[in-house]
Amino acid sequence: MESIFHERQEGSLCAQHCLNNLLQGEYFSPVELSSIAQQLDEEERMRMAEGGVSSEEYRTFLQQPSVNMDDSGFFSIQVISNALKVWGLELILFNSPEYQRLGIDPINEKSFICNYKEHWFTVRKLGKQWFNLNSLLMGPELISDTYLALFLAQLQQEGYSIFVVKGDLPDCEADQLLQMIRVQQMQRPKLIGEETAQARDQRLSRSDVDQAIEVNHPFDGTGMLDEDEENFQRALALSRQEIDMEDEEADLRRAIQLSMQGSRRSQFPDSLPQNAPQSPHASQTDSLSSEELRRRRQAYFEKQQQQLQQQDQTPDLRGKPAQSSSAPEADPGGDMSEEDMLQAAMNMSLESVRNHLNTEEEK
């Protein structure tokens, strides 16, 4: 249907589009239609002046705006009718009872001009098919012969005024081409602005959805970054705590081992050769786990507490001062008992840890 001339709506120039779509060419411009409207206004003014330029009716007529055109581009039926007279065409009101009594089948006509309020459009037969050439449509709309009468009746029910165009229309390429072929239209053309409105509604709908999602789950990454940062800091703190605990346990075991080795060398400087194997007690101490050391340390502290309580309750008959729990004397018999060695090692390890803490506090 590319050969069909179809002007789309611009402003309020529907009368111009209606005429050009009817004649299938750019035959009229707003200037030419305005000239026709001004000529009609002048003719009406002259008729009103016949009754006297000083009459009340004449003065009222001059004060009223033109009924044939306005600033928006609207033109009256008189303008359209006079424009078609140039081509020998005449308009007859299809809605009139006189025409309806003629019983003419609409399919036998050639074209119609339809008007509702201030909108004009053309329905014309091109070749052997009817087309709705409404300038508000994106393109010509094919109307079947069986649907034509129903279409006009629907327009009448909606309040349209329908005019039958009588006379020979000028020849056009579309009419000649469609005399030989028939066209098929799979989809009705949309109204101007309909696609834009649908696209706008879809954008608004997507915008509303996106805004709702953004309110509940912001896409700026802040929440995600904050959560990742928090998890990272928590994992880092746990790892540091584990490292500190491991370092503390390692330092404690190392201090116990060194203290026990120092005690043995001070008690037995010459009794053992340098390459003598370590005693089973030393091997057992070296292989003690941190959990076992903690249990032994706790048991030792509890035992020392019980001994101190017993000493406070029982007076020393020999008058000797009670031995300090922090510095137990070595057994004069020579060999240190396992309990004494563990006590010495614990004292040295606790002293090492205490010195380390003091150093950290000074820093």
pLDDT at res. 334: 46
Rounded CA separation 323/81 (Å)? 134
Residue 132 has pLDDT above 70, yes or no: yes
pLDDT at res. 34: 94
Catalytic, out of 20, 68, 132, 134 = 134
Lowest mean pLDDT among 62-66, 77-81, 314-318, 320-324: 320-324
Residue 275 has pLDDT above 50, yes or no: no
Question: Is residue 124, in this structure, part of any structural domain at all?
Answer: yes
**Average pLDDT of span 4-31:** 94
Q: Active-site residue 18, yes or no? A: no
Question: Is residue 65, in this structure, part of any structural domain at all?
Answer: yes
**Average pLDDT of span 10-37:** 94
Q: What is the pTM for the complete model shown?
A: 0.54
What CATH number has the domain bearing residue 24?
3.90.70.40
Rounded CA separation 343/337 (Å)? 10
**Average pLDDT of span 135-154:** 95
- The top-scoring range by mean pLDDT among 72-76, 227-231, 274-278, 337-341 is 72-76
Please report which residue ranges of 268-321 form alpha helices under DSSP H. 280-286, 290-313
Question: Residues 346, 300: contact at Cβ < 8 Å?
Answer: yes
The token pair at 7 is 């002007």
**Average pLDDT of span 160-167:** 96
User: What share of the chain in percent tops pLDDT 90?
Assistant: 36
Lowest mean pLDDT among 23-32, 249-258, 261-270: 261-270
Question: Residues 37, 175: contact at Cβ < 8 Å?
Answer: no
User: Which residues in 233-259 are b (16+ Cβ under 10 Å) and which e?
Assistant: eeeeeeeeeeeeeeeeeeebbebbbeb
Question: Is residue 138, in this structure, part of any structural domain at all?
Answer: yes
pLDDT at res. 247: 57
Question: Is residue 353, in this structure, part of any structural domain at all?
Answer: no
Rounded CA separation 55/59 (Å)? 7
**Average pLDDT of span 124-151:** 95
Question: Is residue 268, in this structure, part of any structural domain at all?
Answer: no
Structure-model confidence comparison of residues 254 and 318, the more confident one: 254
Phi, psi of 40 (to 5 degrees): -65, -40
Q: What residue numbers bound the domain in which 30 lies?
A: 14-194
Structure-model confidence comparison of residues 2 and 249, the more confident one: 2
Question: Is residue 113, in this structure, part of any structural domain at all?
Answer: yes
Catalytic, out of 14, 17, 20, 68 = 14
The residue written with tokens 């509940």 in the block is 216
Rounded CA separation 358/46 (Å)? 118
Residue 332 has pLDDT above 90, yes or no: no
pLDDT at res. 311: 65
Burial of 312 (0-12, 13-18, 19+ CB in 10 A): exposed
Rounded CA separation 228/83 (Å)? 77
- The top-scoring range by mean pLDDT among 152-156, 208-212, 222-226, 263-267 is 152-156
Q: Active-site residue 6, yes or no? A: no
Which amino acid appears at position 43 of this protein? E
User: 42-55 pLDDT, tens per residue?
Assistant: 888 888 887 787 78
Question: How many domains, in total, are found in the chain?
Answer: 1
Rounded CA separation 121/114 (Å)? 5
The residue written with tokens 């004397």 in the block is 329
- The top-scoring range by mean pLDDT among 1-15, 128-142, 265-279, 305-319 is 128-142
Structure-model confidence comparison of residues 213 and 45, the more confident one: 45
Lowest mean pLDDT among 115-119, 227-231, 350-354: 227-231
Question: Residues 74, 118: contact at Cβ < 8 Å?
Answer: yes
- The top-scoring range by mean pLDDT among 114-123, 242-251, 294-303 is 114-123
129-132 vs 161-166, strand pairing mode? unpaired
User: 309-319 pLDDT, tens per residue?
Assistant: 776 665 544 44
Residue among 113, 117, 143 nearest 130 (CA):
143
Question: Is residue 42, in this structure, part of any structural domain at all?
Answer: yes
Rounded CA separation 135/114 (Å)? 12
Rounded CA separation 103/53 (Å)? 47
pLDDT at res. 240: 58
CA distance readout (Å), 125 to 64, 108, 164, 192:
39, 10, 12, 23
Residue 223 has pLDDT above 60, yes or no: no
Catalytic, out of 21, 114, 119, 132 = 119
pLDDT at res. 194: 78
Question: Is residue 70, in this structure, part of any structural domain at all?
Answer: yes
